[in-house]
Structure 1
Amino acid sequence: MRVEGFFEGLGHALGQMIRFIVDLLSGALGAVADAVDDFLHGLANAIGMDSSIFSIILLIIGLLFLYNGVRALLRRSIFGGVIWLLLGLVVMGWLIR
């Protein structure tokens, strides 16, 4: 009878410790997720686009096109640079209201 009380208490203490760790990690990851969400909404509002995942992916693609265009121009590839820049501007133009 006495042993059952000991193991019950030990299990209760272990359960409370696990619950504390889970709550701590949940709070920390929730705060990070809220910060990322606020950042993406602020970015989308400043640019004037929707804050959907599709819009964010298109923004990244458009920025990569513009980056490739600038790199091509720095390598003195005028034709390739102009094509990349035009593609980037088209994609960015679709996003911005």
Structure 2
Amino acid sequence: MQVEGFFEGLGQAIGAVIRFVVDGLDWLFHGFTHAGSNFIEGLSRTLGMDTSLISIGALIIGLILLYSAIRAFMRASIIMGIIWLALGLWVMSWVVH
């Protein structure tokens, strides 16, 4: 009879520890998710764009193209810089209203 009480208490203690860890991780990831959604909302509101994944993907592609234009200009490749710049601005014009 004593053994059953011991293992029941041990199971409850381990269960409480596991529950504490799971609740802590839930709180942590919920905080990251909330911060990320607030960041996306603020970014989209400031730029005047939608919060869809396609809009965010187009924004990232446009920024990569503009970065490529800057790199081309720094290498003194004027023609490629103009091409990258035109493509980047073209993509960014789809996203930003």
Q: TM exceeds 0.5? A: yes
Give TM-score, length-normalised by structure 2.
0.97
Q: CA separation in 2, counterparts of 1:54 and 1:10?
A: 51
What is the RMSD computed on CA atoms of the aligned residues?
0.6
**Counterpart for residue 20 of structure 2:** 20
Cα-to-partner distance string for 1:22-80 (whole Å, 9 max, x where unaligned)? 00010011001100110011001100100111111111100000010011011111110
Query: What displacement does 1:89 show?
Result: 0.3
Q: CA separation in 2, counterparts of 1:52 and 1:41?
A: 10
Structure 1 segments (4+ residues) deviating >6 Å: none
Report how many residues are paired: 97
* 1:45 counterpart letter in structure 2: R
Q: CA separation in 2, counterparts of 1:87 and 1:68?
A: 10
**Counterpart for residue 76 of structure 1:** 76
Give TM-score, length-normalised by structure 1.
0.97
* 1:63 counterpart letter in structure 2: L
Which runs of 5 or more residues in structure 1 are unaligned?
none
Query: What displacement does 1:96 show?
Result: 1.1
